[in-house]
Structures are given as structure tokens and as C-alpha cells.
Structure 1
């Protein structure tokens, strides 16, 4: 829908949008999303690349997955994570574009 406005959204939808944007308010999650923006990867690789513990990465991945921002794929014993869809990529790209023009 091209014409979004307050009159088109009910309270539950407004709340859901606010909750979605809260997820982007954590630098660890942003770092993970930016890494996944580049390529699909596993917890171990993300932890090394971002200099975070595997436990911290897993915790943040669970939050991102619960909000449908990432998806996972199992290959043997490994689980690979990637951005959920083009909308997540667009949100990240738009955010980066916005801060670069400030």
C-alpha cells in the first residue's frame, strides 16, 4: 500500500511498527544485520568477525529471528543465518543512506 498514514493503522499495527524499530536500537544487532547483509554465515563465524562471544551472538540472533528479520538454514550440524527478505535489506540500506546524508 502506497498511502500509509495514521488513519490506515490501528493501535496493534502502530505498536508492531514501534516494536520493530526498537529492534534496530541495539548496536550488536545492527552489527549482525550488517554482517548478514554481506553474506549468509553461521554463529561461529559471526562471533569471530564481530569479536563477540558465540553466546551473545546467539542471543541477538534469537531476537532477530523472533522478529522475522533473519532466517536460518541447517546444513548438517551447522546453522546458517541470512536476512529474512528484501524488506530487511531495504531498511538497512535506507538507514545507512539516511545517516550518510546528515
Structure 2
């Protein structure tokens, strides 16, 4: 039985391959991008990012909002902070977290749009 997802002949388009090869990111960049997505692979972290894309929140607020312990929330925030996804600011006795920059918000929005688009396309 033929596999429709595989070429029937082994023919390399050298011009096409060379063009893409010239545009392709270095392996080190690919590793950094993979590490970034790995950081986002936890559903709790994605919900934290979604919440922080709306407005800055403190650990207590995030924990209550997401139904997590403060310890678990702090752990996720530390991971996100270490990867440059969120940053914090202390105001009096309260520490507020927010997304590090608009790139993070844009990346999250793009992924969310893609997932929602996939759901619509696959709806019966």
C-alpha cells in the first residue's frame, strides 16, 4: 500500500535545498527556541501567561485565580522568570508579575489563535 505522505521517488531539488539552508537558523538558535517552547509546555504556565497577558498580578492573585498553591505558583513563576518570559516589580509589600515584553504576549496570542483555528477547522 502506498503512503501518500512520502514522495514516490527520491529526488532532491538542490537549488531549493540550498536556498532554505541559507535562510535556516543556526542549531544553537533552534535549541533556544525548543527550550522556550519546553518552558511553555506546562498547562499551568500557559494559564499564568494568559492571565499576565491581561494584567499584572501578584503570586497570591495568580494562585487563587488558577487554583494552585502559592508554592506551586511561585515555582512556575521562577521557571518563567529564569527563561525571560515574565518579570516582577515590588510595590511596597506586594510583588507583581507581568510578561517580560510584547514578544511573549504576541507569541502566546499566535499560538492561541492557531489552536482555536484548528478547533474550528476540525469541528464537525
The question of a shared fold, defined as TM-score above 0.5 by the shorter chain, is answered with yes
- The Cα shift of 1:101 comes to 0.9
Q: What residue ranges of structure 1 are gaps of 5+ in the alignment?
A: none
Q: In the alignment, which residue of structure 2 is the partner of 1:74?
A: 90
RMSD over aligned Cα atoms = 1.2
- The Cα shift of 1:53 comes to 0.2
Runs of 4+ residues over 6 Å off in structure 1: none
Q: In the alignment, which residue of structure 1 is the partner of 2:65?
A: 49
Query: Does the C-alpha gap of structure 1 residues 55 and 98 become closer, same or farther in structure 2, counting only changes over 3 Å?
Result: same
Matches within 5 A, 1:1-102: 7=22, 8-102=24-118
Query: What whole-Å deviation, never above 9, does each CA across 1:3-57 have from its counterpart, x for those lacking one?
Result: xx66442222111111011111100100111110111010001000111000000
- The Cα shift of 1:93 comes to 0.6
Q: What residue ranges of structure 2 are gaps of 5+ in the alignment?
A: 1-19, 119-124
Larger Rg: 2
Distance 1:19 1:93 in 2: 19
TM-score (norm 2): 0.75
Aligned residues, how many?
Answer: 98
